[in-house]
Amino acid sequence: MRAAAMPATHDSVWKGTLMHPEYIEAMEGVSGLAGSPWLTSESTVLPTLDGAHEADVVIVGGGITGALVARRLSARGRHVVVLERRRMASGTTGHSTAKVTALHGTAWRGLLGAHPRDKMHAWALANLAAVDELSNTARVTGTTCGLRTLPAYLVAGDATSAQNFGEHIAALVSVGIPVSAVDSPDPFSNPAAELPRQVMIDPAAFVAGVLSSLGPIADLYEDTAVRSLEHTDDGWLAHCDGGSVRAPIAVMADHSPMHDTGGFFGRLFPYTHYVLEIAPRTALPDGMWLQVGGENLTLRPTSGQGGTWIASGQRVRVGSVDDEREIYTQLEESVTRMLGKVEVVRHWSTHDHETSDGLPFIGEAPLGRNLFLATGYAGWGMTKSVVAASIIADAVEGRSNAIAEIVSPSRLPGLNSLVPLAGENATVGREFITGHLTSTSKLAHSDSVAGQACTHLGCETKWNTAEGTVDCPCHGSRFGRDGSVIYGPASNDIEADA
Ligand SMILES: Cc1cc2nc3c(=O)[nH]c(=O)nc-3n(C[C@H](O)[C@H](O)[C@H](O)COP(=O)(O)OP(=O)(O)OC[C@H]3O[C@@H](n4cnc5c(N)ncnc54)[C@H](O)[C@@H]3O)c2cc1C
């Protein structure tokens, strides 16, 4: 069955009908409407997989990674099938603040401390090029995704961070990111580094536009959870509730690799980022602002000038706090200290995975066999997904790619990354033990499956007080209150205790 075309009709206006509602719920004690502005529009519902199918490539996941991989491979004549558990772009991509920039906050300084400069130079150039490539993709596909070109700024958040701000500029220049030092206007008023010609988008509309441009060489399915990926004599068999897809090549664009041949569940650390859409009382200077120190806020306009803004800053490990509503309160307080009283229009959060050496895992999975993956973007997946699509498409075609080795999923952890790796996994071990020792009453919620075991590795799940979800503190799986999987690595739903 061919997929219906998806109109790129997303915008930030509530249209009243949601074919597939946001997973987060409005909870008392959190300001504003619940949910991402990018997911409020109607869009055509794609079919659910039914029966046995064949393809050249099966792609698990319809976020920005899945969409861009599908575009690259279908352009090279491969028949691709994209299988999405919920709606296209409804995962991390649809909750992104979608600043498409190679600036990546303070990451470059850390990367230079852990990796050779020539490799980080190559990685930086790939991310710079990705900004232009994403913009071109939006234009070529005619995608109406609110794309705006504007500068990105890294700015010192207070006097203390202003003192050693030069080190961040030096790191950026050293890896080849062409920033220039500028004085920032109010309300930032501290030294800043400006990177011109970066981009912001509505990420859900971007994905919808890319997918709708693929034509008949791609089959797209929604509400189609892949329950397992089985290796067979002739490739990969994706098992779904209503059918299956057989293909010689499989790509896990599923955020948490479901067929884990590399122990990735212990090498990916899920951190939730909290976001507010705000209406400031005074105009803010146009641009995408990333503070270092101080309130540590990032700010971008939602769309044009004079409208609302999107603010984020707080980040915590999934399931690591008793009351997630406090994180929103802290974020609102930070915004108020910085900008004065604001109206909070919306709030939302979700997680992205971090890695111990600061680089993503992109390429063929350990053990090979034409199984590919891309994850571990650490909050900067808008450019990394573009690079990932190019690496994976080249690998599928047997072409060399200069960046592939730097982010290979088979790379060994360097000495510098052993300490963070051990620390994150000690957290998991503690969660596993204490979760099983504590009474479930602290974790549970009477009207949900919270407190029951995660279907991934059996850790005790926790009620998320701000989103109304059931979260696993060990590896970041998240479920609806009824136990249905929202985010992996879990593939199966939690059955409610009788
Ligand atoms: C709050 C927040 C703000 C961010 N802001 C920025 C930013 O400003 N700039 C930037 O560059 N990056 C940002 N990021 C990071 C960026 O959004 C992510 O790195 C990126 O969207 C990840 O895309 P993805 O396609 O890999 O994953 P996802 O978008 O999560 O896509 C994976 C898809 O796979 C589906 N799936 C999973 N398992 C299965 C299965 N078994 N069967 C079928 N489907 C499955 C999921 O439903 C999901 O739709 C932000 C992240 C967060 C959390």
Ligand 1, atom 32, residue with closest C-alpha = 254
Q: Work out which ligand 1 atom sits closest to the CA atom of 374.
A: 26
- Give the per-residue pLDDT at 19: 45
Condensed to tens digits (0 to 9), the pLDDT of residues 92-132 reads: 999 999 999 999 999 999 999 999 999 999 999 999 999 99
What spacing in Å lies between the alpha carbon of 241 and ligand 1's midpoint? 23
C-alpha of residue 343 to centroid of ligand 1, in Å: 27
d(CA 486, CA 473): 14
**Contacting residues for 208 by C-beta, under 8 A, at least 6 apart:** 6, 7, 8, 9, 10, 43, 88, 89, 143
Contacts of residue 277, Cβ cutoff 8 Å, sequence gap at least 6:
32, 37, 302, 308, 309, 310, 311, 344, 345, 346, 347
- Interatomic CA distance for residues 347 and 328, integer angstroms: 8
Confidence of residue 368 (pLDDT cuts 50, 70, 90): confident
What value does the mean pLDDT take over residues 389-396? 97
324 has pLDDT over 90 = yes
- Please, what is the Cα angle at 350 between 344 and 355, to 5 degrees? 135
* CA–CA distances in Å: residue 21 to residues 26, 310, 491: 12, 21, 20
CA 215 / ligand 1 centre spacing (Å): 23
The gap between the terminal CA atoms of the chain, to the nearest Å, is 38
* Nearest atom (ligand 1) to Cα of 272: 53
Residue 414 has pLDDT above 80, yes or no: no
Quote the ligand 1 centre to 170 CA distance (angstroms).
30
Question: Which of 244, 352, 361, 492 for a ligand 1 pocket mutation test, highest count of atoms within 8 Å of Cβ?
Answer: 352
- 324 C-alpha vs ligand 1 centroid, how far in Å? 20
Task: Please choose from 43, 92, 272 the residue to mutate so as to test ligand 1's pocket, defined by most ligand atoms within 8 A of CB.
Answer: 92
Q: Give the atom of ligand 1 at the shortest distance from the alpha carbon of 200.
A: 8
Q: Which atom of ligand 1 is nearest to the CA of 224?
A: 43
- Cα diameter, the chain: 63
Q: Which is the closest atom of ligand 1 to the Cα of 377? A: 19
**Contact between 372 and 392 (Cβ < 8 Å):** yes
Helix (H) or strand (E) holding 215: none
Computed from CA positions of residues 267, 81, 403, 181, in that sequence, does the dihedral angle turn out positive or negative?
negative
C-alpha to C-alpha distance for 65 and 335, rounded to whole angstroms: 31
pLDDT at 8 over 80: no
Please tell me the distance between residue 85's alpha carbon and the centre of ligand 1 in angstroms. 13
Rounded distance between C-alpha atoms, residue 85 and residue 89, angstroms = 10
Across the range 42-67, mean pLDDT stands at 94
Q: Are 162 and 191 in contact (CB under 8 A)?
A: yes
CA 59 to ligand 1 center in whole angstroms:
14
Question: Poorest-confidence range of 14-23, 44-53, 332-341, 360-369?
Answer: 14-23
For ligand 1, mutation pick of 20, 86, 128, 254 (most atoms within 8 Å of CB): 254
Strand pairing category for 148-156 and 191-200: antiparallel
pLDDT, tens only, 431-485:
555 655 554 445 667 788 999 999 999 999 999 999 999 999 999 999 999 999 9
DSSP 386-415: HHHHHHHHHHHTT---TTTTTT-TTPPPPG
Angle of CA points 51, 56, 61, to nearest 5°: 70
Give the distance (Å) from ligand 1 centre to CA of residue 187: 31
Q: Which of 46, 96, 475 to mutate to test the pocket of ligand 1 (most atoms within 8 A of CB)?
A: 96
Q: Per-residue pLDDT for 335 more than 60?
A: yes
Q: Is the dihedral of CA 162, 167, 168, 173 positive or negative?
A: positive
- Residues above pLDDT 70, as percent of the chain: 90
pLDDT for 487 beyond 90: yes
**In this model, does residue 40 exceed pLDDT 90?**
no
Tokens representing 149 are 């070109």
Query: What per-residue confidence (pLDDT) applies to 4?
Result: 36
**Per-residue pLDDT tens over the stretch 250-268:** 999 999 999 999 999 989 9
- Ligand 1 atom closest to residue 491's alpha carbon, by position in its atom list: 41
Q: What is the pLDDT of residues 266-320, one digit of tens each?
A: 899 999 999 999 999 999 999 999 999 999 999 999 997 789 999 999 789 999 9
Q: Report the alpha-carbon distance of residue 299 to residue 289 in Å, rounded.
A: 5
Domain with CATH 3.30.9.10 in the chain: 148-199+268-352
Can you tell me the distance from the alpha carbon of 48 to that of 387, in angstroms, rounded to the nearest whole number?
A: 29
Q: Ligand 1 centroid to 452 CA: how many Å?
A: 26
From 444, 436, 392, select the one nearest 72 (Cα to Cα). Answer: 392
46, 90 Cβ separation under 8 angstroms:
no
Q: Which of 19-28, 38-47, 184-193 has the lowest mean pLDDT?
A: 19-28
Q: Is the pLDDT of residue 141 over 60?
A: yes
At residue 129, the pLDDT reads 98
- Cα-to-centroid distance, 63 and ligand 1 (Å): 6
- CA atoms of 94 and 451, how far apart (whole Å): 28
Whether residue 422 has pLDDT greater than 70:
no
Between CA 70 and CA 141 the distance in angstroms is 14
C-alpha 385 to ligand 1 mean position (Å): 9
Q: Which of 14-23, 34-43, 94-103 tops mean pLDDT?
A: 94-103
Residue identifier of the C-alpha nearest atom 21 of ligand 1:
93
Domain spanning 148-199+268-352: CATH 3.30.9.10 = yes
Angle, CA of 119, 125 and 128, to the nearest 5°: 145
Q: ω into residue 270 within 30 of 0, thus cis?
A: no
Q: What percent of the chain has pLDDT over 90?
A: 81
Choose the weakest-confidence range: 21-25, 175-179, 451-455.
21-25
Integer angstrom CA distances of residue 327 from 81, 274, 332: 39, 7, 9
How much is the mean pLDDT over the chain?
90
pLDDT at residue 15, rounded to an integer:
30
- The secondary element (H helix, E strand) that includes residue 416 is none
Confidence at residue 232, expressed as pLDDT on a 0 to 100 scale = 96
| Ligand 1, pocket residues at CB < 6 Å | 60-66, 83-86, 90-93, 95-99, 225-226, 253-255, 258, 273, 275, 312, 350-352, 377, 379-383, 385, 488, 491
In the prediction, which pLDDT does 12 show? Answer: 26
Three-class secondary structure of residue 277 per DSSP: strand
The number of residues in the chain equals: 498
Tell me the CA distances in angstroms from 31 to 16, 27, 274, 490, one per residue in order: 20, 9, 13, 31
Atom of ligand 1 minimally distant from the CA of 90: 49
